[in-house]
Structure 1
């Protein structure tokens, strides 16, 4: 597989909503492999096709090497808990920049695997946070938009100075 170039914030592509995966074929499997290699090289625990400029609804999560990678095509949140949690978030498109984001602690979501088979799962804690974060990216919502304006402006200024 290939390590691809990751779009860096504030690339306008990071604000584009992605189209659904329509073809569950060798091209999708190759894209998934490239995403996994790119995410590991970044390094990160999650990545979307949008992060590499391919605006299709594909997510890779690898929360631990022991558990291995998981691939999600066309993921969507079906329900979420009223209970929330705060967790530090960042992005492979903005390496080194993190801040706490509050999100629902549990979600139920639906997705298709790389063969196109539908699945429904529940996620809690860190896994739920990661899935929500990546689905936001597929919807064109970069994680900074989940911060208060003050925190977002402060983090953006620090990011711009680093470049």
Structure 2
């Protein structure tokens, strides 16, 4: 497994429309393992293959809910002050060749961010629920009704497969402001 470089705007590869996966082999398994390692390292909750420069219709998602059954961890990573927090539980999900079958008409607003647009967050409206058909690592087809953050996350990641970033859903003015903020962040870093 390896951590791969995450492409960031304005890299033109992020505008690539990804092609379907046709071969379910060890190369695909390695890509998925690398994508999880990269996403957890970033850290993030979703990653599309194109974000690591591979124009294939592959997504990984892990909403990483708090593990209520685990013992709270003591942490002093932030400025040396000790505090406790609930550890996260890994629930990795793989979506290969995903397609949305019937998005809900009612919309929900989430504040979204993206590993390819670091440090920028904005409210985006998306269908509240959606039915998704996808394949797993063995090529087996699944269908599932998704809602809440998972529905938003899969729609966000599926946009990447079409060369769309979450900031493309913003008004032109808000998108320009977001890109200027990103430029300032990069200069400061």
The reply to whether residue 110 of structure 1 matches residue 133 of structure 2 is yes
Q: Report the structure number with the largest CA radius of gyration.
A: 2
C-alpha distance in 2 between matches for 1:92 and 1:156: 14
Out of 112, 129, 142, the residue aligned to residue 119 of structure 1 is 142
Once the two structures are superposed, residues 19-58 of structure 1 have per-residue CA deviations (whole angstroms, 9 ceiling, x without a partner) of: 0011101110000000000000111000010000000000
- Counterpart mapping for 1:10-89 below 5 A: 10-64=10-64, 65-66=88-89, 68-89=91-112
Alpha-carbon distance, 1:149 to partner: 1.1
The answer on whether the counterparts of 2:118 and 2:182 sit within 8 Å (CA) in structure 1 is no
Aligned length: 163
* TM-score, normalization by structure 2: 0.84
C-alpha distance in 2 between matches for 1:132 and 1:86: 12
What corresponds to 1:131 in structure 2? 154
C-alpha distance in 2 between matches for 1:31 and 1:114: 11
Alpha-carbon distance, 1:140 to partner: 0.7
Provide the secondary structure at the position in 2 that maps to 1:2: coil
The answer on whether the counterparts of 2:58 and 2:94 sit within 8 Å (CA) in structure 1 is yes
**Which consecutive residues of structure 1, in runs of 5 or more, have no partner in the other structure?**
none
Alpha-carbon distance, 1:67 to partner: 5.0
C-alpha distance in 2 between matches for 1:129 and 1:69: 16
- CA-based RMSD: 0.9
Provide the secondary structure at the position in 2 that maps to 1:123: strand
Once the two structures are superposed, residues 73-111 of structure 1 have per-residue CA deviations (whole angstroms, 9 ceiling, x without a partner) of: 000100111111100111111221110000000000100
* Structure 1 segments of 4+ aligned residues over 3 angstroms from their partners: none
Alpha-carbon distance, 1:66 to partner: 2.4
What corresponds to 2:67 in structure 1? none
C-alpha distance in 2 between matches for 1:130 and 1:104: 11
